[in-house]
């Protein structure tokens, strides 16, 4: 009996290892669901759909987009967190994944780190600071100087409380000590319309809808929020270049899976996704949406998400930003 038990003890680890190999080799055997926390049509949805088409080709099974917008992206994120960790549910997380823990402290139905297995950072998209010409500033240095000369008298629009544009301005306030007045809107579109009309003085938003107004002279671009200059606007300096080293804020999209998904499956999806992001046609399509392809390791993505959560929690606490 002891000999039999000894043989079983030796065999189980090997069987488990083989089982993991078999699951990776067999995966996927049916359609894979890609949950996108946006309604159809927006930039995040476009990025997800581009990825789903290429992943379908790479995996040999249909990758089906499942749009679950609303609820500050909490609905889609919770569905992912509670899905079976079998590799058949993937999630295109966004920058909001790093914002919500600070914005909704103690109110999330999941843990933004522990309940997810990181795969890779798919893409990053910078934001741009823009101003109405009547404000009389041409760059971030001049904006900071104007705000210090007129504390509390310069207003800025956003697409809503806790959004990337809102927090990017609050990060600038946090780093410079300036006082700007927040005017939230229900979406970037109405905010941009009022900015062009001069009802508000500045905002931080995606370059895609903003830059046509800059080119026409209706608005002025002050600086990009990314760490490096954007290929979409290489002549526009970053905020960090303008005397604020370390300033960085961006919209980002990352591929996650439910926690406890097999490492072998994560490795497979990661390898295929990174190959996809290196394709010239994929890079071109992402750049047309103002996004830069990334494709880092799961470990790097885990560190990135933690750093995002820590940074935005500090900014939200400092600015005393609250949700309903």
pLDDT of residue 25: 66
pLDDT of residue 24: 56
pLDDT of residue 308: 95
Q: Does the pLDDT value for residue 78 go beyond 70? A: yes
In whole numbers, what is the pLDDT of the chain averaged over residues? 90
Residue 203 host element (H or E): strand 202-205
Selected from 3.40.190.10, 3.40.50.360, 3.40.640.10, 3.40.190.150, the CATH number assigned to the domain covering 2-125+250-319 reads 3.40.190.150
Give the integer Cα–Cα distance in Å for 115 and 55.
Answer: 23
Pinpoint the residues of the chain covered by CATH 3.40.190.10. 128-242
Q: Does the pLDDT value for residue 23 go beyond 90? A: no
User: What secondary structure letter does DSSP report for 109?
Assistant: S
| Mean pLDDT value of segment 246-261 | 95
Q: Does the pLDDT value for residue 14 go beyond 80? A: no
Q: What percent of the chain has pLDDT over 70?
A: 92
3-state secondary structure 148-179: HHCCCCCEEEECCCCCHHHHHHHHHHHHHCCC
Give the integer Cα–Cα distance in Å for 115 and 93.
Answer: 13
pLDDT of residue 11: 47
| Mean pLDDT value of segment 132-156 | 97
Q: Does the pLDDT value for residue 15 go beyond 70? A: no
3-state DSSP helix/strand/coil % of the chain, to nearest 5: 50, 20, 35
3-class DSSP state of 137: coil
Of residues 39 and 255, more confidently modeled: 255
pLDDT of residue 287: 87
Q: Does the pLDDT value for residue 240 go beyond 80? A: yes
Give the integer Cα–Cα distance in Å for 103 and 114.
Answer: 18
Distances (CA, A) of 187 to 53, 82, 193, 276: 28, 29, 11, 32
Q: Does the pLDDT value for residue 16 go beyond 70? A: no
pLDDT of residue 163: 86
| Mean pLDDT value of segment 45-62 | 96
Contact (CB, 8 A) for 196 and 213: yes
Of residues 289 and 58, more confidently modeled: 58
Q: Does the pLDDT value for residue 271 go beyond 80? A: yes
| Mean pLDDT value of segment 131-142 | 97
Q: How many helices (H) and strands (E) does the chain have?
A: 11, 11
Give the integer Cα–Cα distance in Å for 274 and 293.
Answer: 9
| Mean pLDDT value of segment 201-225 | 93
Give the integer Cα–Cα distance in Å for 300 and 308.
Answer: 12
Tell me the pLDDT tens digit for each residue of 289-323. 888 999 999 999 999 999 999 999 998 998 888 76
List the 202-205 sheet strands across, edge first.
Answer: 181-184, 155-158, 202-205, 128-131, 220-224
pLDDT of residue 187: 81
Contact (CB, 8 A) for 187 and 174: no
Q: Does the pLDDT value for residue 140 go beyond 80? A: yes
| Mean pLDDT value of segment 125-146 | 96
Q: Does the pLDDT value for residue 20 go beyond 80? A: no
β-bridge partners, 131: 202, 220
Sign of CA dihedral 157, 159, 160, 162: negative
pLDDT of residue 4: 45
Cβ count within 10 A of residue 271: 12
Contact (CB, 8 A) for 278 and 271: no
Q: 17-31, 45-59, 82-96, 175-189: which range is least confident on average?
A: 17-31
Tell me the pLDDT tens digit for each residue of 160-199. 888 889 999 999 999 999 999 999 988 888 999 999 999 9
| Mean pLDDT value of segment 195-215 | 93
Sign of CA dihedral 38, 39, 44, 50: positive
| Level-2 CATH architecture, domain 128-242 | 3-Layer(aba) Sandwich (3.40)
Pinpoint the residues of the chain covered by CATH 3.40.190.150. 2-125+250-319
pLDDT of residue 10: 44
């Amino acid at each position: 009996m002891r000999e039999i038990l000894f043989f079983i003890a030796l065999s189980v680890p090997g069987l488990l290892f083989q089982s993991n190999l078999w699951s990776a080799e067999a995966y996927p055997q049916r359609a894979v669901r890609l949950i996108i926390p946006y309604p159809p049509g927006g930039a995040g949805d476009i990025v997800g759909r581009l990825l789903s088409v290429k992943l379908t080709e790479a995996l040999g099974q249909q990758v089906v987009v499942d749009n679950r917008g609303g609820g500050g992206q909490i609905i889609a994120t919770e569905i992912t967190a509670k899905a079976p960790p079998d590799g058949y549910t993937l999630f295109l997380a966004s920058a909001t994944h790093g914002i919500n823990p600070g914005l909704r402290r103690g109110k999330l139905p999941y843990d933004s780190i522990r309940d997810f297995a990181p795969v890779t950072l798919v893409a990053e998209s910078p934001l741009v600071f823009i101003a109405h010409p009547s404000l009389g500033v041409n760059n971030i240095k001049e904006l900071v100087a104007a705000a210090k000369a007129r504390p509390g008298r310069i207003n800025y629009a956003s697409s809503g409380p806790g959004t990337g544009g809102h927090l990017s301005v609050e990060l600038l306030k946090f780093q410079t000590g300036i006082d700007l007045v927040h005017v939230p809107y229900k979406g970037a579109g109405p905010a941009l319309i009022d900015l062009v009309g001069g009802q508000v003085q500045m905002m931080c938003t995606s370059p895609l809808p903003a830059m046509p107004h800059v080119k026409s002279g209706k608005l002025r671009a002050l600086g990009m929020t990314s760490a490096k200059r954007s290929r979409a606007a290489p002549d526009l300096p970053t905020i960090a270049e303008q005397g604020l080293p370390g300033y960085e804020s961006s919209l980002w999209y990352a591929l996650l899976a439910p926690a406890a998904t097999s490492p072998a499956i994560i490795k497979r999806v990661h390898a295929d996704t990174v190959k996809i992001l290196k394709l010239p046609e994929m890079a071109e399509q992402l750049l047309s949406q103002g996004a830069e392809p990334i494709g880092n390791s799961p470990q790097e993505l885990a560190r990135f998400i933690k750093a995002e959560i820590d940074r935005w929690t500090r900014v939200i606490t400092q600015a005393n930003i609250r949700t309903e």
